[in-house]
Structure formats: C-alpha cells, structure tokens
Structure 1
C-alpha cells in the first residue's frame, strides 16, 4: 500500500518536470524551484497521523494539492503549445531574407544571386 505522501511526491515531481532543467547539479536552484520545495516541505502538505483533529488543515491541504495539480496541467499545456508552434511555424526564428528564399524554393524557384561589388571597383 502506498504511503499518504506518495500523491504529493508525484505532484512535486510532475511540477519539477515542467521547470527548465539545471545545466549542472552543482549550480544553485532557481528561486522558483526553491519556493516549490519549501511549499512541499511545509507541514500542511505532509500528512501525518499526529495531525490536528480539526478538519480545516485537511481541507486546506486538499485545496493546495488541487491547485498544484492545476498548475502542473497548465505548465504541461504551455510546453505542448510551444512545441506545436515551433513545429508548425518553422520560419519563426529566421530572418526575412532567409524566409523569402525558402518560400521561393518551396514553389520551385531559386532567387537570383545578388551582385556584390568587389574592392577596387573592378570585377
């Protein structure tokens, strides 16, 4: 049987997956990553048998978990959106001249080679 912290651990890992990766593990964590870690280490998100008898902390914990799931879904959707934009708009990162050249080649034309004047004025 899984421990009660397993859903929180899974949620924490799914949020970490959506953050940009650190280039080296020796580099310090990003402020967002640190805040996320602190949030999941708070006692309100950890369920223990010694929790208070009040229903309020449990409701707050459930609400925080649902909100974190929504953030994870939003981040996943944004990552998918960016991937689709890059896939279906391949000319986004190109300059205007390169885009025109590739468009001409798509319809079977080659752009003429532009005349470049050499030093000294002679060819």
Structure 2
C-alpha cells in the first residue's frame, strides 16, 4: 500500500503547519488549511503541485528552525528594551541600578 508523492508532500506540509502554529488547533484560523486543500484539489499539473508543496513545506520548516535557533543562540531576542538592558548588564557581571525617585513628587 504505497502513497503517492503528492500525498506524502501534502501530509508533511500539514505537519509543518501544525508545528509552526503558536495556537492550539481549536483556536487556529482554518483559512490556511482551506487554501492548501483548494490548491491540491484544483491543481491539474502534478509536477507543479508537487514543486509548490515541496517549496512551501521547506519554507515553513526553515522558518521554524530559524526561530528556534534565534531563541537558542540569542536569548535576549524578543525581550523588551528594559529586560534587554538588565540581561546585558547581568552578562558582564553588573546589576542595573535602581532609578532615582524624587521624594517630593
């Protein structure tokens, strides 16, 4: 029982969409999956469809891996400016001083 290459690519694309998504399945917008299904159902040229599915899957996989590597090797990525300053100061062994608050205010 062998599956066609297009079926394999379609399933691997759906798997990558699931892995890239930040939200649980019940909250995700179904529009993307509907568009992918429409493209697969309406395409008549199998070679073009196969290439499109492969390139889309590879793009999603590369984007996911890039985000993981950014998180791993650049720990201050995605922090606010204040958090970034504190993390940078801690990296060189310093603490950020408390800001002066005027007692008269």
Query: TM (normalized to structure 2)?
Result: 0.73
Tell me if 1:33 matches 2:30.
no
With over 3 angstroms needed to count, the CA separation of the structure-2 counterparts of 1:107 and 1:27, relative to structure 1, is closer
The answer to whether the 8 A contact 1:22-1:29 is kept is no
With over 3 angstroms needed to count, the CA separation of the structure-2 counterparts of 1:97 and 1:27, relative to structure 1, is closer
With over 3 angstroms needed to count, the CA separation of the structure-2 counterparts of 1:108 and 1:35, relative to structure 1, is same
Instruction: Tell me by how many angstroms 1:28 deviates.
Output: 6.0
Question: Hey, which bits of structure 1, 4+ residues long, moved more than 4 A?
Answer: none
Tell me if 1:89 matches 2:90.
no
- Rg larger for: 1
> Which residue pairs with 1:42 in the alignment?
42
> Which residue pairs with 1:99 in the alignment?
84
The answer to whether the 8 A contact 2:40-2:49 is kept is no
Tell me if 1:66 matches 2:28.
no
Counterpart-to-counterpart distance in 1, 2:99 and 2:23: 45
Tell me if 1:116 matches 2:101.
yes
The answer to whether the 8 A contact 2:43-2:49 is kept is no
Considering only aligned residues, what root-mean-square deviation do their CA atoms show, in Å? 2.7
> Which residue pairs with 2:9 in the alignment?
11
Counterpart-to-counterpart distance in 2, 1:40 and 1:101: 49
**Mind listing any 5+ residue stretches in structure 2 that lack a counterpart?**
none
